[in-house]
Amino acid sequence: MVETSNRAPASAPEKPQVRVAANNTGPKLEAVGPNSNSALLTLLRVEAEARSLDDPRKLVHLITNETRKLARARQVFVLKRSRAGSLVVEAVSSIDVVDRNTPLVRWIERLVKRLGDDSGLDALREFSLPAYCDDRDEEANTYPFRNFLWVPLQLRDGTVFAGILAAREQVWLDADNIVAKRLAGCFAHAWSALTGTRALSRAGARKKYLALTAAMLVIALMALPVPMTALAPAEIVPRDAFVVAAPIDGTVRQVRVQPNSKVKQGDALLSMEDVRLRNELIIAENQVIVAEAKLKRSSQAAFADAEARRELRLAMSELQLRKAERDYARDLMAKTSITAERTGLAVFGSAKDWIGRPVKTGEKIMEIADPGKIEVRIDLAVKDAIVLANGAPVKLFLDADPLNPISATVTQASHEAKEVASGVLSYRLTGDLAADQPLPRIGARGTAQVSGQDAALFFYLFRRPISFLRQRFGF
């Protein structure tokens, strides 16, 4: 509301002054200076012109240039709420086309964003640089106009859909602030009349709407059922392979086959050191000869000597004992050479690792496997354990061919976790490969993706944190 003070009587003219006053209905300008009539006429002209425009672009141009004049600013920036909800520079005084990629424009947008985050944009704000600036902003040190005035453009419900940022060297006065606020009210009314209140409100609320929509979408996705999966190291192993174990305690002297080579039934696989056993066999055979001689002598003397007849039974028992010792030595000697009991592939590590190595009876040395009968062995760590059932699907990604996964199904799962070679406590899973795919070689390694029962996506993503909290704090 603009009022012009009543003129004093001609007989007693007053000396003009400028006074700014505000009441409950809005600011009033009482012009009583030499240029007051001109300033008020300019203000009225700008208000009338703003309400008569039919293009929002022309209105923005009017805001930038006329605000600079009436508010006595050096540079004016007009910012408008974008569809994303942020305020972007729409126009700059004395510049026809705004390039939003220039450092100055980007700096102004960051400045207004920080102002809004810290103090809000719904009221008149005065500040001086380097307030709301980043230490890395070069413009904060080089920009010549240090004092800023933020003037919001609002709808009746208080929604800020745009704003004016004015800059100059001097500190802003109350009179300048009132003029700027008066202009802002006029410009906001004209802008809403041209564009529509609903469109401007929607632009201001779009950011909140998008955020709410995104939050609801995330919540909905968290309830989406997905199969629980776990990754574990896997290896292709033979199925129903014959285990070649050490038959006696001893030292491996020679390995007669190469790893993964084909062997036939009866082929020699390896031999053990037999020096001690050979000597024990020789001794046992000689003891048998001695026992036979004693028995023969006792038999001849038994016809005439009663004492010899009593020793005859003892000699027979000793001979039986010596023969048993000889037969036992022969059996041990025969076991120093190990042969294949079936045809297949000899599966073991390097032959050099076994030569000269002491072994215990029953210790596994190699396997004789059928290359057409294979399965996948999976070591599922306890921390990755999920609920599995027989027939659970498995995707095997071999290190040699990770782009072509192999399908399999779980056929067996151990109920007790044991420490594997890697030192990790794991459950042992066994799976059969699908029949409609090429068979990988025995010994191939990779990673298996085991799928279990369906669970909510939230539980799938936060299963480990939930387990940690339950184990750590009991809730």
Residues in the chain: 475
Helix, strand, coil proportions of the chain in percent (round to 5)?
Answer: 40, 30, 30
Quote the tokens at residue 114: 């920080």
Query: Residue 39's pLDDT is what?
Result: 67
Dmax over Cα atoms in the chain, in whole Å? 185
How far CA 341 is from CA of 257, 325, 345, 414, in Å, comes to 14, 27, 12, 29
At 18, which amino acid appears?
Answer: V
Tokens, residue 475? 């809730």
Domains and CATH numbers, the chain: 56-211 (3.30.450.40), 229-239+370-473 (2.40.30.170), 242-359 (no CATH)
Q: Supply the pLDDT for residue 202.
A: 53
Say whether 454 sits in a helix, a strand or coil: strand
In tens digits, the chain (475 residues) has pLDDT values of 333 333 333 333 333 333 333 333 333 444 334 455 676 787 788 887 878 777 878 888 888 888 888 888 889 999 888 877 788 888 888 787 888 888 888 998 999 999 988 888 888 889 998 888 887 788 888 889 999 999 998 888 778 888 899 999 999 888 888 888 888 888 888 888 887 666 565 554 556 667 788 888 888 888 888 888 888 999 988 888 888 888 888 899 989 888 888 999 888 888 888 888 889 899 999 999 998 888 888 888 777 777 777 788 888 888 899 999 999 989 988 888 888 888 888 888 888 888 888 999 988 888 898 888 889 999 988 887 887 777 889 999 999 888 889 999 998 888 888 888 878 888 899 999 988 888 888 888 999 999 888 888 888 788 778 777 777 776 5
- Whether 260 and 345 have beta carbons less than 8 Å apart is answered as yes
Model confidence, pTM: 0.48
Question: Using one digit for the tens of pLDDT, what is the confidence trace for 195-240?
Answer: 766 656 555 455 666 778 888 888 888 888 888 888 899 998 888 8
What phi and psi values does residue 405 have, to the nearest 5 degrees?
-70, 155
Q: What is the pLDDT of residue 182?
A: 87
Question: So what's the pLDDT on residue 447?
Answer: 92
Q: Bridge-partner residues for 23, per DSSP? A: 26
One-letter amino acid for residue 152 of the chain: P
C-alpha 30/C-alpha 281 separation (Å) is 132
Strands 374-381 and 344-347: unpaired
Q: 26-32 and 393-398: which strand pairing?
A: unpaired
Predicted local distance difference test score (pLDDT) of residue 424: 85
